[in-house]
Structure 1
Amino acid sequence: YLYLKKNTYFNNDQIEKITKQWILMTALTKRYGSSPETVFDRDLRLIAENNEKNHLAEFFKETIAQNLTEEFWTLTLPENLFAQTTQLTDWRIFQMSQIHAKTHA
């Protein structure tokens, strides 16, 4: 968020949208689960490189699309939700989405 705010041409709405999508993608896919510092450092480097090339919006869109595929939504996530307890990340995100959509029981 802070990098985007300080170093990009994105307006506040774009920054908020990208940040929310990125946080959800990383939480759902457990992107920073193993060796989080290494993955995080790589992501920061790629963000900076793509910003220099004016390809940052495309980078975010492509990275999120590559991680949140149709297979992820139809197979991986449902399996994770079925296998998890109510204390784990995917379940909590599902609950938040239900509350946000006002469809919770």
Structure 2
Amino acid sequence: MSLKQDSRDANPDLEQTPGKDTRRNEKRKSALVTVSVLATVFGLGCIYGGILLMAAPGVGATSFDFLNLQFSTQQTGVAAIALGAASIIMIFRKVLKAIVDIGRT
């Protein structure tokens, strides 16, 4: 008998068989990847639109409150860039926290 086989006999928990938790974690991970991709596309779209708005003539007072992030500016393009950056940052923070929580279980 090898040492590896002896340790499995002593502690059967060391052998991991795919079960419900593994399948559930895989579904969670795929959902998190989907959310990350969608948030990135939304954020990059906002940033791109903000750059286009900054190049357009004209100004106007713009302010918004997005998930407790209050922003006020004189150019709509800057507000769109801030909205895109804030959405990317906030979603990725939540996704990373969820991944860490999955790893702990």
TM-score by length of 2: 0.27
Per residue, is there more strand in 1 or in 2?
Answer: 2
